[in-house]
Chains A and B, each alone.
Chain A
């Protein structure tokens, strides 16, 4: 008996990978559905070790999926939901074409809905895993919360994003988890630390939405991402609220609508507005404080360890201080100042904040309140000023948070030329890289005092000074020489 000869590409890498076309055929899905499924399930192509072998001898570059990933998709229940959608679209299209509005309405009322709960759990086995992957989720949700209604984007998605992001911000405020902030030309970067996981997201500047070229940006695709991210963020919010002893959905105890307000607005809108204001503490399910600032005893283990522990302790101390950075301070935001990011930051560090009543709901005190300590303004001058408070520019808040101490306000007064705003995300231990003098100044305070940046006029003045000194020296030398001659 001659054993059967093994055919090429039946084992090894060739059998492990599958092109996208083959995957579509296997799953019996259209490309659009497959794309949607991949996004929701978090399936991505994989780079084989040897592309030629994985493509069965073909050297063109193809999108390759792992066979196991495709098999994993094969068992996914939402594939059937996607097929339902196909039928639904056909039915609706037909009814619309026939102008059978009764049927159309019935179909639309019974539209299929995707339930993604199990996928969230499947993609993120633990809560920590979900937190680790929150960067993109938050950035995209914050972006979508600013969107108007768009074609191919579900009508309520933007509102849902707004709701969830605001809830998340409330959770950050309650947990005092904010660590770093940064104003970039792209938007506001916020970095929080929840359960030891650092999460960074960007909130775009105002008016971030602009119509995009169809060939460049596909909102439909982004909307699929958002569809998953909203579910994920909702579950994360729920868990964070739960761990902070808060009600979810958020409730307010103190700010129940008064009778006059009750007649004006319905309750849901009232709560939603309070949530959006970010200026009221949420009511708690129990009064136990969830303090994680437990003191840990130190143990001597080794010299290096001791150093590290010492450093970690110092850091912890600093963070503890940071959490109450603005405590006891009262801020008033002028109307030209972006309200949401500043309210968020100030509230995260224990400050009180308010704004003009007509600007947004939720202002707690007026501008003429004498106990205001800081008024944040972003205009060159103001007619009426109170002596009892500092008029500072918004960058002071950001820089103070990043240096983890209250900076002197004199450089940030209204109308002053601001010092450069530096990124807090730069690795402190880097070497062989340029460090701007301002950053050095934060690290070593004496440095900046000695080496302040010179303006042009100062430079010319300095030059003149040195020139004068030189002249004097020359005169002195001349006189000496004359003396010697004598």
Chain B
């Protein structure tokens, strides 16, 4: 008994299919394959599943030569002869091994050999035209010559040539750039603008970022909310954390992002925009260390108490030994600076609005504006020689034959004091037609200016002591004059009206400059001892620093105070300035002016001093620096004068 007893019966039993030569796939849907000789259905043999096939393949050594007979559906094992025949067919050889293909041809008609049979006509037919067989076929050489010609002309290619051509069509790489950085001359794109590079990723893009970079619920909600406006999102992706690299999936938007980048590269308009990049360090001025800024007044050291009402104005003598203060209680007091002792109290008839000590060392004089009068008072302190000399100088009025004009005469009258007044120290009295609000000495101490705000076109008056003469510099009213100042070195006069500061040349009698303050109401001003910088305080809380060389607009606007600024002052020697305001604060600032014209002034607020008591919403009125020491005086509405020292 063989191993194929159960199934393989094909060779022995002849169950020939009687369906004939039809496509066997017609029987695909049936259980049977056709009919045998007796008309019975030939049932399809069981094929078994893939596992069976696999097992068979593994176990059956003849598996490879087993084929299925489509007629019967049975497996047939091919014999060696069959295999050989198949191999020969595949190799395009004649299937029969025994066939001799090189055997001489025997023609049917005449038995001629060596010549090609031209046609496969029936031998009996061809025998009619025998001569034809003796001639070579004309078509073939023609065809061959055509092919040769086509090859020659390159119309057709041999296999080798085709291969070569194909290789040529592939990109060929060679040394395109001979050097690294030398460009070859050729026509190139005009004014090329390079596309900006993509930003490099931050921590948030990491597959394992620090936990604080992950979105919380609120951030995620906000991110989702901006779905319609994705450019507003802070991040263009949602940070995610994976605890291991193998869990990281592909980024779903990767291709899209690359595509958008491609679009940007060829579709986005390019332009060179000059972006002003200011580094934060360059914005902050190089602050000198506080050590370099010293000395400046920091502590309250002396308080001068004695006035019973607001002290409107203060001034010191040239040496800085004595202080004069004028108050609303109609008195002028002379103080010793170092001790705080009141040396003298000089009673006047009216409220004292302005006092100023004469800058001339040879004169011991104080200019006091009290009501409508301006008094020249000899305080009689300090060097007795100087004070006695002053008295002698002022005793006699110099005679002059100059006729005083009507306009001046109605404005001001020089008069001698009464004995009572003389004993109090008053040497000369100038009676003005309106209330005097401010007086100001010229640097040499001979001229002084007085201001009457209500005086219309006669509001500013310049008087000379030595000749006892006054003049009205302006013929027209320029507005409500607030305050005037002499330039420390040049014959210039600064006149502050309500909104502007005008600078007049007194010699040429012309206006030099008009400074625009851009504020509502100027209160006071001070000029730097160098003369090129002007500090203006305004009632609208500002302090304006004008660099006269630079512009007619403020170089810097300082908003340090909360309320109206009433007093400003420069120190004569140190780079300091100070301002006092109604908010009772006295602010000391560093204001360095450089000799180099190119370098702008350096302004640094240093110290806020707040020691005055409030009184009727007023704070500080007068601010004055000690002429030699870095000390600062301030007079307040509380009736005191205070000295701050370093």
Contact = CB atoms under 8 A, between A and B. Distances in A.
A411 B206 CA distance: 18
Contacts of B208: 183, 395, 418, 420-421
Interface string B186-221: 111111011101101111011111111100000000
A421 B182 contact: no
A234 interface: yes
B179 A126 contact: yes
Given A379-B246, A425-B202, A121 B262 contact: no
B296 to A, nearest CB: 31
Given A44-B265, A395-B208, A378 B246 contact: yes
B259 A238 contact: no
A248 B177 CA distance: 15
Most buried by A among B173, B251, B269: B173
Contacts of A439: 203
Given A126-B182, A239-B175, A185 B203 contact: no
Given A72-B189, A183-B207, A63 B177 contact: no
A238 B175 contact: yes
Interface in B212-258: 212-213, 237, 239-240, 243-246, 248-252, 254-258
B210 A422 contact: yes
Contact of A422 (B203, B261, B271): B203
B176 A238 contact: yes
Contacts of B175: 238-239, 242
B102 interface: no
A35 B258 CA distance: 17
Interface in B59-98: none
Given A126-B182, A423-B201, A185 B267 contact: no
Contacts of B206: 182-185, 420-423
A64 interface: yes
A395 B206 CA distance: 11
A208 B180 contact: no
Contacts of A379: 246
Interface string A225-251: 100001100110111001000001000
A423 B184 contact: no
B250 A205 contact: yes
Contact of B267 (A44, A128, A237): A44
B269 A45 contact: yes
A382 B604 CA distance: 69
Nearest to B237: A185
B176 A121 contact: yes
A204 B244 CA distance: 17
B424 to A, nearest CB: 66
Interface string A197-225: 00010001111111010001110011001
B396 interface: no
A78 interface: no
A82 interface: no
B176 A120 contact: yes
A168 to B, nearest CB: 12
Contacts of A360: none
A39 B262 CA distance: 9
B271 A47 contact: yes
A212 B183 contact: no
B510 to A, nearest CB: 45
A95 interface: no
B270 interface: yes
Interface stretch (A135-143, A269-277, A312-320): A135-143
A329 interface: no
B205 A185 contact: yes
B183 to A, nearest CB: 3
A200 B243 CA distance: 25
Interface in A101-151: 109, 113, 117, 120-130, 132-133, 135-136, 139-140, 143
Contacts of A221: 259, 262-263
Contact of A184 (B201, B249, B266): B201
B287 interface: no
Interface string A146-164: 0000000000000010000
Contacts of B244: 378, 393, 418
Contacts of A121: 176-177, 184, 186
Nearest to A189: B201
Contact of B203 (A204, A237, A426): A426
Given A125-B184, A420-B206, A423-B203, A143 B245 contact: no
B492 to A, nearest CB: 46
Given A140-B262, A183-B206, A420-B208, A113 B169 contact: yes
B251 A39 contact: no
Interface in B146-202: 162, 169, 171, 173-177, 179-184, 186-191, 193-195, 197-198, 200-202
Interface in B290-312: none
B598 interface: no
Contacts of A109: 162
B246 to A, nearest CB: 4
A186 B251 contact: yes
B264 to A, nearest CB: 9
Contact of A46 (B197, B210, B237, B271): B271
Contacts of B212: 434, 436
Contact of A239 (B177, B245, B252): B177
Most buried by B among A39, A63, A69, A205: A205
Interface string A21-58: 00000000000000100110111111111000000000
B176 A208 contact: no
A68 interface: yes
8 contacts: A122-B188, A125-B188, A135-B197, A185-B207, A185-B239, A186-B257, A189-B201, A438-B210
Q: Can you list the 6 inter-chain pairs with the closest CB atoms, starting with the nearest?
A: A125-B183, A47-B271, A425-B200, A68-B190, A47-B269, A420-B210
Interface of A: 35, 38-39, 41-49, 63-64, 66, 68-69, 72, 75, 109, 113, 117, 120-130, 132-133, 135-136, 139-140, 143, 160, 182-187, 189, 195, 200, 204-210, 212, 216-218, 221-222, 225, 230-231, 234-235, 237-239, 242, 248, 336-338, 378-379, 393-395, 417-418, 420-423, 425-426, 434, 436-439
Given A125-B188, A182-B201, 12 more contacts: A38-B266, A44-B269, A45-B270, A117-B176, A121-B177, A122-B188, A127-B180, A128-B181, A136-B198, A222-B258, A378-B245, A423-B201
